[in-house]
Chain A
Amino acid sequence: MSLLIESAMVLLVLTNLTLLGLSRLRSCIRVVAVQGIVLGLLPLAAHADDLAPRIILLAGGTVALKGFVFPWMLLRALRVANVRHEVEPIVGYTLSIVIGIAGFGMSLWVGSRLTIPGAAAPPLVLPVALFTILVGLFVIVSRRKALTQVLGYLVLENGMYAFGIVLVGEIPMLVELGVLLDVFVAVLVMGIAIYHISREYDHIDVDELDALRG
């Protein structure tokens, strides 16, 4: 069981690093989808001994939403926006990966220092969650396209989700559903915004949205 979780964690790290190195927006969306599926299945692996229907339901919902609905919505936004499908990063791909590895080392260090009372999760989960959050933030600031910022937000959210599994374990169903719903609406609204931005400007480069200052 712990090997299962460990493998999932390594998979998460790999999806993060891949996301940093990919140049096609389409592939980036797919990688984030894979990450969402792995995360959605994580609670199943964590509670493999006693599978309550609640956990199965949540896992199913998460997988369906993060693995299939979000990518579909984002791919659709990409198609409708009809912009260049390259990521065009501010920080290059190779450097991004190197930064990513450095970030992972740092998360491991922080994770080993941070003591959460009574956290009974496998040791790797905390640093990987931190790493995922870091990668999310990095993608938001180091990529130009509005779409990649949405992906960054999703990765950030994934990291927090993993964090929640480690730290709290038992989040009330209502809260989890609310969070899922919020993320869903966030992606929906951001997708609409991307559509409008592409209509208004013929691009979705966020660093050219700089009319408002002071």
Chain B
Amino acid sequence: MHVLLAILSGILFAAGVWLILRRSLARLVLGLILLSQAANLVIFTSGGLHRAAPPIVGENATALEAPYADPLPQALILTAIVISFGLFAFFLVLIKRAHQETGTDDIDAMSEVET
């Protein structure tokens, strides 16, 4: 399972890098989104993969019963997802505005507009 997920995150990284090397801004955003998913997958994998109960304390219990899954990597990923949601939302607005202003989706052409 570890190997499979490692390969999968490798593929995601490769695809993300390929996309951000394009000149089109829309692909740039897609590439960054793929990369952030790959990063999340790496955290998930390195947090350890094994079958275990969810880390929720039962109705009448006071402590967790082992074996339970480590909740921290998931908390990290959740936070990272929330943050990248915010960032990408901003980024999309930026690209839309940039496209409106400069009339191009091409980063090089956009730099030429710059005086």
Say if A and B assemble together.
no
Q: Which residues of A contact B (CB under 8 A)?
A: none
